[in-house]
Amino acid sequence: MSEERGDVDNQRKASPGLDPSGAVPYETTYHKGPVILRGDMIPDESTSEHLLRPDDSPDWLHTDPWRVLRIQAEFVDGFSALAGLGPAVACFGSARTGREDAAYVAARTAGGLLAKAGYAVITGGGPGIMEAANRGCAEAGGKSVGLGIELPHEEGINRWVNMGITFRYFFVRKVMFMKYSSGGIVFPGGFGTLDEAFEMLTLIQTHKAKSMPVVFFGSEYWGGLFDWISGPVTSHGMISAPDRTLVTITDDVEEAVRVATGAAAR
């Protein structure tokens, strides 16, 4: 071990005549960063010995301090991978949409149009709408990004992604969606899609994020939700009238892409 260790029992050797009370100064000094320790304060085990000692149990892996480091590592990996991405639009939508579904066809078309307009497509990297948007983008030669999430029994990132990152924590992944997109297209979906769309809207509404276009594709699917938002949610004062203007609803893929890329007035 590199730290200077002394035999504690031999540290305080008598120095006859130094002090009539018999007290003698400490002989050995142990350095621990900026701290010095002497006498009984010197630990039995040096820092290096502690580091290199095999663990008795791996329980510490499940403690919050260690979890915080894993979360930090996930942010570092995400930021490092995405920092140079360039302009991008997030596409959200159901993981369950079949390949024959009209919404799949629309998302694939949108992915292609976004790539041709010079935008990367960022999805959750899963099946359904995510696969469709990644597929359209990859087919058009664009940057097709999948921000996957570790889920038991899931296949992993779809084969149309050319830059994929798998996250353990949903909230870290959400930061990546927000930080690296300048607009979003929300295709029909369930709880996951609603969560992502409303996260985006809430951050914009509260000015935690810059204002960006959010397009809901599919008026028949989303109409009921927005009738309710424009009706009871607004009349009860739960949102203000301008909040309703944060979203565009359309059935036209080209319009969805124009609005999401900021190429059309909202």
Ligand X SMILES: C/C(=C\CNc1ncnc2c1ncn2[C@@H]1O[C@H](COP(=O)(O)O)[C@@H](O)[C@H]1O)CO
Nearest CA-CA partner of 155 in 193, 196, 125: 125
Helix (H) or strand (E) holding 64: helix 64-82
Q: Is residue 218 involved in binding ligand X (CB under 6 A)?
A: no
Environment class of 253 (CB within 10 Å of its CB; exposed 0-12, middle 13-18, buried 19+): buried
Where in 77-106 is the site for ligand X (CB under 6 A)? 92-96
Return the structure tokens found at 208. 């935690």
Q: Which stretch binds ligand X (CB under 6 A): 13-21, 32-40, 112-120, 188-196?
A: 188-196
Q: Which stretch binds ligand X (CB under 6 A): 68-76, 149-157, 215-223, 243-251?
A: 149-157
Q: Is residue 154 involved in binding ligand X (CB under 6 A)?
A: yes
Site string for ligand X, 37-76 (x = CB under 6 A): ----------------------------------------
Q: Is residue 192 involved in binding ligand X (CB under 6 A)?
A: yes
**Closest CB to ligand X among 27 and 101?**
101
**Closest CB to ligand X among 59 and 191?**
191
Cα diameter, the chain: 99
DSSP letter string, 245-258? TTEEEES-HHHHHH
Half-sphere exposure of 175 (CA within 13 A, CB side): 14
Contact set with ligand X (CB under 6 A): 92-96, 124-127, 130, 148-149, 151, 154, 189-193, 196
